[in-house]
Amino acid sequence: MPFIELETNLPASRVPAGLEKRLCAATATILDKPEDRVSVTLKPGMTLLMNGSTEPCVQLLVSSIGVVGTAEQNRNHSSGFFEFLTKELALDQDRIIIRFFPLEPWQIGKKGTVMTFL
């Protein structure tokens, strides 16, 4: 169950229509997870400062069980997400940061319990 949060200081008018669906599909491919298990949240218009600048930028938060726990895994994932985001948002790579958060099944609540018991 990957959770993706894209935070950006780009105004909503500069975020391409349908980005959440394309990001969902890209995440499923990059993380090798079923697309119907991916949750995507877009947060445009945020106040962000990156590398001392308020120029357009993105922070992508990637949380998942079992696929973001090592440097080797995240290096491969990072490459795929950077390729996607630079094309979709027309940003240079130095204006994008990705943060990976490994999750355990007991940290995700669903259907009145936690994933451990599903």
For 36-47, what is each residue's pLDDT tens digit? 999 999 999 999
pTM metric for this prediction: 0.94
Integer Cα distance of 103 and 98 in angstroms: 16
What confidence tens digit (pLDDT) does each residue in 76-94 have? 999 999 999 999 999 999 9
Residue type (1 letter), 10: L
Q: Alpha-carbon dihedral of residues 76, 78, 83, 87, nearest 10 degrees? A: 160
What was the pLDDT predicted at 94? Answer: 96
